[in-house]
Amino acid sequence: MSTSHNQLDTKSQAWSALFSEPMSELVQRYTASVFFDKRLWQADMQGSLAHAEMLAAQGIISQDDRAAIERGMAQIKSEIEAGSFDWKLELEDVHLNLEARLTQLIGDAGKRLHTGRSRNDQVATDIRLWLRDEIDLILGLLREVQGALVDVAGRNVDVILPGFTHLQVAQPVSFAHHLLAYVEMFARDEERLQDVRKRVNRLPLGSAALAGTTYPLDRERVARTLGMEGVCQNSLDAVSDRDFAIEFTAAASLIMVHVSRLSEELILWMSQNFAFIRIADRFTTGSSIMPQKKNPDVPELARGKTGRVVGHLMGLITLMKGQPLAYNKDNQEDKEPLFDTVDTVRDTLRIFAEMVGGQLNPATGTKEGGITVNPEAMRSAASKGYATATDLADYLVKKGLPFRDAHEVVAHAVKTAQDQGVDLAELPLATLQQFNPDIQQDVFEQALTLEASLNARNTLGGTAPAQVQAQLARHTQRLQAGQA
Ligand code: ARG
């Protein structure tokens, strides 16, 4: 690195003559962030322009300086977009890179941009602006995934599969009901992110290094220009805390956990032993040795990438815990985990929306290539494992038997059916009556069929088709209205 003090593009320019020796190359690389934080350039520029606008409005810099700053920034923007901007490691980060180039382009006006500002409030502002926009993208993707699940659910209200507890056949449920459980999860994720967004969307700028500044800044004005909902009210807190990033990563972790649970189900359902569904070939891969294989790589990877996002949450929260007020360089470590979290969640949701719901065919206006359902396999699985045993018990309760006694009666019936290798509905009426004489012919219709079992669960939130239809209508309406 050059130690010349009159060269605009060296770091010595940024902090003056105090330093008697240059950094080693290793230390430079160790401390620099430009190769990852250049991703923030648009937010950095947006913040700078809002700051300059306010400085000029307050008479702190001239309108000419402001115009020059805007001109210079426009030039830098086109350079970055064209890929011709010369990012310099020795300028450490995105902030100093942009400022140095600005000064190169417009001279003294460029040096006045940093009046009343520090990189500490600058970087905190940049991350918030960037994250706010990413949150909006993720919110849109969460809605797409919900829409895809609702679509598939809408076609499968009457498709019945075994519901499990402990992964043991428990009671029959509607496949739509099962999918709508995930819609509920993603709707909560959406709500959570909207809430996080409020705290992300507040302005640190104007806090300067840590204590505020001597210039008559109008912070509210900058907040308005940037579309922020408020101004951080304590300068020490504003430059230092990254709780908003931690909160976001926690919400992102929950999104991934929900995706991971769904992935696990898709993987199970696709296995030959279940054969409940198929997903399009483009989300699977073959095996290099076993010719018959079609592996569910995408859901498996999504399940795996959940660990990475949860890891980032641990990283960020640990990053914060030992920091005294105010800004510390530790915080530079917030970016890579945050970027990777955003990238992982975005890619995952985008893929899932398509894998579940399919791709729009512009010719037909319909979606194609989503999950293919095998209702027969689901039905036959639901018919095994005595999924309607509870219904038989409930039938006896309606005949006046206390529930605990009914439970015991049915356990005996299940044991007998198991010994004979048949389902409850396959036992002759005479056999069933040996367990309880009140059992009548109507038991088959009213309790032992899968449809009867579903229809009977007509409580709010239950799996009866009438309830599922009501939930479908609610979700469809909610998604159309743009509500979480
Ligand atoms: N690259 C730094 C970061 O990401 C910018 C702020 C640097 N501030 C400072 N006082 N060194 O946090």
DSSP string, 230-258: EE-S-HHHHHH--HHHHHHHHHHHHHHHH
User: Quick check: is 287 catalytic?
Assistant: yes
Alpha-carbon dihedral angle through residues 450, 453, 454, 458, given to the nearest 10 degrees? 170
Listed residues 372, 405, 440: the one ending a domain: 372
Helices and strands in the chain, H and E counts: 21, 8
* Local structure of 359: helix, strand or coil: strand
Is 123's C-beta closer than 6 angstroms to any atom of ligand 1?
yes
166 assigned to active site? yes
Residue 259, pLDDT score: 98
User: Which of 171-185, 214-228, 282-296 is least confident?
Assistant: 282-296
Which one, of 336, 303, 302, lies nearest residue 319 by Cα?
A: 336
94 plus 224 within the same structural domain: no
175, 384, 197: which is closest to 276 by C-alpha? 175
Q: Dump pLDDT digits (tens) for 213-236.
A: 999 999 999 999 999 999 999 999
pLDDT tier, 6 (very low <50, low <70, confident <90, very high otherwise):
very low
Averaged pLDDT for residues 103-130: 98
Q: Which of 328, 344, 372 is the last residue of a domain?
A: 372
| Same structural domain, 211 and 321 | yes
- Structure-token pair, residue 415: 């044991």
Start-to-end C-alpha separation, the chain: 52
Q: What is the pLDDT of residue 14?
A: 55
Mark whether 63 and 212 lie in a shared domain.
no
Residue 128 lies in a domain: yes
Residues 260 and 356 occupy one common structural domain: yes
> What pLDDT, on a 0 to 100 scale, did the predictor assign at position 294?
85
33 ligand 1 Cβ < 6 A: yes
Q: Is 332 in the pocket of ligand 1 (CB under 6 A)?
A: yes
300-308: average pLDDT? 98
> Considering 16, 20, 166, 288, which one is annotated as catalytic?
166
For residue 287, the model assigns a pLDDT of: 82
Residue 249 lies in a domain: yes
Mean pLDDT of 322-328: 98
Reply yes or no on whether the pLDDT at 5 is more than 70: no
What was the pLDDT predicted at 200? 98
Going by alpha carbons, the residue nearest to atom 4 of ligand 1 is 332
CA of 107 to the centre of ligand 1 (A): 24
Ligand 1: distance of its center to the CA of 347 in Å?
29
The reply to whether ligand 1 has any atom less than 6 angstroms from the CB of 120 is: yes
391 contacts: CB under 8 Å, gap ≥ 6:
171, 447, 448, 452, 453, 456
Angle between helices 175-200 and 465-481 (to 10 degrees): 30
Residues 105 and 138 in one domain: no
Of the candidate ranges 125-129, 226-230, 382-386, the one whose mean pLDDT is the lowest = 382-386
Task: Write the pLDDT tens digit of every residue in 456-467.
Answer: 999 999 999 999
By C-alpha distance, which of 218, 227, 150 is closest to 184? Answer: 150
Same-domain pairing of 125 and 248? yes
Q: pLDDT class for 2, splitting at 50, 70, 90?
A: very low
- Same domain assignment for residues 326 and 225: yes
Q: Kindly report the length of the chain.
A: 484
- Residues 6 or more apart whose Cβ sits within 8 Å of residue 201: 128, 132, 227, 228, 229, 230
- Cα of 332 vs centre of ligand 1, distance in Å, is 6
User: How many domains are there within the chain?
Assistant: 3
- Report, as an integer, the average pLDDT of 183-202: 98
Residues 409 and 339 occupy one common structural domain: no
Report the atom number in ligand 1 closest to the C-alpha of 331. Answer: 12
Decide if 379 is inside a domain. Answer: no
pLDDT above 70 coverage of the chain, percent: 97
Residue 290, pLDDT score: 84
Of 30, 89, 119, best ligand 1 pocket probe by most atoms within 8 Å of the beta carbon: 119
**Residue 383 domain-assigned (yes or no):** no
Tokens of 373: 């359902």
Whose Cα sits closest to atom 12 in ligand 1?
332
Rounded Cα–Cα distance for residues 405 and 258 (Å): 39
| pLDDT at position 7 | 42
CA of 38 to the centre of ligand 1 (A): 13
Name the average pLDDT for the chain.
95
Same domain, 83 and 102: yes
CB neighbourhood size of 313 (10 A): 22
Catalytic hit among 62, 78, 271, 287: 287
Do 347 and 208 belong together in one domain?
yes
Q: Is the CB of 329 under 6 A from ligand 1?
A: yes
In a domain, 108, yes or no: yes
Q: Are strands 202-203 and 168-174 parallel, antiparallel or unpaired?
A: unpaired
pLDDT of residue 285: 86
Condensed to tens digits (0 to 9), the pLDDT of residues 343-352 reads 999 999 999 9
The parent domain of residue 408 ranges over 389-448
Cβ of residue 15 lying under 6 Å from some atom of ligand 1: no
Task: Give the Å distance between the CA of 330 and the centre of ligand 1.
Answer: 9
Compute the distance from residue 123 Cα to the ligand 1 centre, in Å: 7
331 in contact with ligand 1, CB cutoff 6 A: yes
In the predicted structure, residue 282 carries a pLDDT above the cut 60: yes
Residues 262 and 394 in one domain: no
Would the CB of 97 count as within 6 Å of ligand 1?
A: no
207-211 average pLDDT score: 98
| Any domain includes 242 | yes
pLDDT digits (tens, 9 = 90+) for 137-165: 999 999 999 999 999 999 999 999 999 99
| CA pair distance 171, 393, nearest whole angstrom | 13
pTM: 0.94
Q: Is the pLDDT of residue 15 over 80?
A: no
The token duo for 167 is 């992964």
**pLDDT of 279 above 50:** yes
Q: Is residue 435 one of the residues assigned to a domain?
A: yes
Residue whose CA is closest, atom 10 of ligand 1? Answer: 120
pLDDT of residue 293: 82
Q: What confidence tens digit (pLDDT) does each residue in 246-259 have?
A: 999 999 999 999 99
Q: What is the pLDDT of residues 398-452, one digit of tens each?
A: 999 999 999 999 999 999 999 999 999 999 999 999 999 999 999 999 999 999 9
CATH number of the domain residue 139 falls in: 1.20.200.10
User: 222 CA distance to ligand 1 centroid (A)?
Assistant: 21
- Three-state SS at 366: strand
Q: What torsion do the CA atoms of 61, 62, 64, 68 make, to the nearest 10 degrees?
A: 0
Report if residue 150 sits inside a domain: yes
* Residue closest by Cα to atom 2 of ligand 1: 332
Looking at the fold, whether 241 and 303 belong to one and the same domain comes out as yes
The tokens describing 59, both together, are 């008479």
Confidence band of 18 (pLDDT split at 50, 70, 90): confident
